Amino acid sequence: MGSITRGLSNNITTGGVILPAGITNSSVSAVTSFSGVTSSAILTLLSTQTASNSATISFTTGLDSTYDMYEFKFIDIHPRTDNVFFQFNLSTDSGTNYNVTKTTTFFRPYHDEADTATALEYRTAEDLAQSTAFQNITTGTGNGADESCAGSMQLFNPSSTTYVKHFITRVNDSYQGDYTMDCFMAGYGNTTSAVNAVQFKMSSGNFDGTIKLYGVKKS
């Protein structure tokens, strides 16, 4: 009988209660594997970039066929200019050009701090129809000392040479007029070429903040 089994059996009462002495760090650390148990990790961190009064952040490596889904996390993206739009674009030539043709849709609910204005609206000003322009994923982030935006973007199967490249963003925006704006955008890059780079920037001016790129485990 192994030491773990002996230790456990010696610390079980006749009533079937396991005593505290039977559950120890040493007994768990002595186990080298669990049969049939697989890793539950879903996201693998591939890279982290931090903007410090930067004009752009570009991810030119890491987007390949290793994963069929990638996720970007936006953490405290703070513009240096007031009332600007956080944006992205895609590249099929490793970042030489960010000009993939896109068709998108955009909506947002909002609520102000004074509790005087609320709405749920479709934003035609933010959608694109077969455009190579940078895509807005917020609608007027403020540059106050405590203002920023945060959220995520999912990019699906960017290395495919058969299908268009779908993406979904959800970003909560600290709007320049003291509103919370919950911004939803989705669409596709209308290209069958592999997308291998993504760039983020503000519509005007520089910004601070952190962007993390993760690979999502294949099912």
Residue 138 belongs to a domain with what CATH number?
2.60.120
Q: Output the pLDDT for position 217.
A: 86
Residue 28 has pLDDT above 90, yes or no: no
- Structural domain range at position 21: 1-37
Residue 115 has pLDDT above 60, yes or no: yes
Q: Output the pLDDT for position 18.
A: 66
Considering only CA atoms, give the Rg of the chain. Answer: 24
| pLDDT tens digits along 133-144 | 999 999 999 999
* Residues pairing with 128 in the sheet: none
Residues 31, 50 within the same domain? no
Residues 32, 60 within the same domain? no
Q: pLDDT band at 198, cuts 50/70/90?
A: very high
**Contact status, residue 143 vs residue 82, Cβ threshold 8 Å:** yes
| pLDDT tens digits along 64-87 | 999 999 999 999 999 999 999 999
pTM: 0.82
| Cα angle 133-135-136, degrees, rounded to a multiple of 5 | 130
Residue whose pair of structure tokens reads 């559950």 in the numeric block: 23
Residues 105, 28 within the same domain? no
Average pLDDT in the 34-39 region?
A: 52
| pLDDT tens digits along 143-174 | 999 999 999 999 999 999 999 999 999 999 99
Residues 124, 63 within the same domain? yes
Residues 115, 8 within the same domain? no
**How crowded is residue 218: how many other Cβ atoms within 10 Å of its Cβ?**
8
Q: Output the pLDDT for position 59.
A: 98
* Residues pairing with 156 in the sheet: 69
Residues 98, 13 within the same domain? no
Helix (H, G, I), strand (E, B) or coil at 86: strand
Interatomic CA distance for residues 195 and 63, integer angstroms: 8
Residues 71, 141 within the same domain? yes
Q: What is the mean pLDDT of the chain?
A: 90
Burial class (CB in 10 A: 0-12, 13-18, 19+), 161: exposed
Q: Output the pLDDT for position 218.
A: 82
Number of domains within the chain: 2
Residues 5, 104 within the same domain? no
Provide, rounded to the nearest whole percent, the portion of the chain with pLDDT above 70.
81
* Cβ-defined contacts of 107-111 (< 8 Å, 24+): 107/184, 108/139, 108/181, 108/182, 108/183, 108/184, 109/181, 109/182, 110/175, 110/179, 110/180, 110/181, 110/182, 111/179, 111/180
Q: pLDDT band at 110, cuts 50/70/90?
A: very high
DSSP per-residue letters across 165-188: EEEEEEEEEEETTTEEEEEEEEEE
Q: pLDDT band at 19, cuts 50/70/90?
A: low
Q: Output the pLDDT for position 69.
A: 97
Residue 200 has pLDDT above 90, yes or no: yes
